[in-house]
């Protein structure tokens, strides 16, 4: 393929695959229900499909995409510090307005619902997309994976959506630093569960 200047265009087929497939599974997950459980849908679309592509098409070790404990000492330390810093902010913003209205009715099934919801979600962004892009774009992948992550929050309260480009970058940095998607998953799991508990009045 050539551009308008007649120059040959060359594409990294793995980057193209990651971009196209991740976009499609996000769109399908938004418009369709595959099962009766949203978390199961997200596990299929955001975890199982990318993992099958890694194993069967890319023929690579999932560890290369953050599916490992990575630097677990740094991971645990960063996770605990993040929780301590984020909790007061969540307690403040989750107690009223749009955040409370949106989240207060989601307390049923905690913490397992948020765990199932976010496991595949985090692997898609902070595993498959982040580490797949990092090979081609280096640290720029931290911002690149944060963009679709932020856009997927558009239906949520504005204050949350506005923060997600920075939150997505931060989650990406944790994964990049620890070489694992597990630690941003744990932080995100805490953020979602704690926000719901605050909004529902369980934590005052």
Report the chain's terminal Cα–Cα distance, integer Å: 60
Dump pLDDT digits (tens) for 148-203: 999 999 989 999 999 999 999 999 999 999 999 999 999 999 999 999 999 887 77
Residue 4 has pLDDT above 70, yes or no: no
State how far the Cα of 86 lies from the Cα of 95, in Å rounded to an integer: 14
* Greater pLDDT, 159 or 3: 159
Q: Residue 177: inside a domain, yes or no?
A: yes
Q: Residue 8: inside a domain, yes or no?
A: no
136 SS3 class: helix
Dump pLDDT digits (tens) for 54-66: 999 999 999 999 9
* Greater pLDDT, 10 or 184: 184
Beta bridge partners of 8: 2
* Greater pLDDT, 1 or 45: 45
Q: CA-CA distances (angstroms) from residue 31 to 26, 48, 78, 124, 150?
A: 9, 19, 35, 18, 18
Residue 142 has pLDDT above 90, yes or no: yes
Q: Residue 204: inside a domain, yes or no?
A: no
Can you give the pLDDT at residue 100?
83
Q: Residue 101: inside a domain, yes or no?
A: yes
State how far the Cα of 96 lies from the Cα of 91, in Å rounded to an integer: 10
Q: Residue 142: inside a domain, yes or no?
A: yes
Q: Residue 108: inside a domain, yes or no?
A: yes
Residue 89 structural domain: 13-199
Q: Residue 1: inside a domain, yes or no?
A: no
Residue matched to tokens 């996770």: 79
What's the domain count of the chain?
1
Q: Residue 141: inside a domain, yes or no?
A: yes
Beta bridge partners of 202: none
């Amino acid at each position: 393929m050539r551009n308008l200047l007649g120059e040959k265009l060359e594409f990294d087929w793995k980057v193209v695959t990651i971009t196209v497939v991740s976009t499609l599974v996000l769109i399908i997950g938004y418009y369709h229900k595959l099962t009766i459980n949203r978390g199961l849908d997200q596990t299929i679309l955001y975890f199982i499909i990318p993992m099958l592509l890694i194993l069967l098409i890319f023929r690579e070790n999932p560890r290369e995409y953050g599916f490992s404990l990575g630097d677990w000492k740094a991971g645990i330390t960063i996770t605990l510090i993040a929780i301590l810093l984020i909790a007061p902010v969540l307690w403040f913003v989750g107690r009223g307005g749009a955040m409370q209205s949106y989240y207060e009715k989601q307390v049923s099934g905690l913490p397992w619902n948020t765990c199932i919801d976010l496991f595949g979600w985090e692997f898609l962004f902070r595993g498959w997309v982040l580490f797949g892009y990092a090979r081609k774009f280096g640290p720029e992948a931290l911002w690149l994976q944060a963009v679709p992550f932020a856009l997927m929050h558009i239906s949520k309260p504005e204050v949350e959506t506005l923060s997600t480009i920075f939150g997505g970058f931060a989650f990406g940095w944790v994964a990049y630093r620890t070489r694992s998607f597990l630690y941003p998953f744990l932080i995100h799991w805490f953020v979602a569960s704690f926000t719901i508990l605050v909004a529902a009045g369980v934590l005052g």
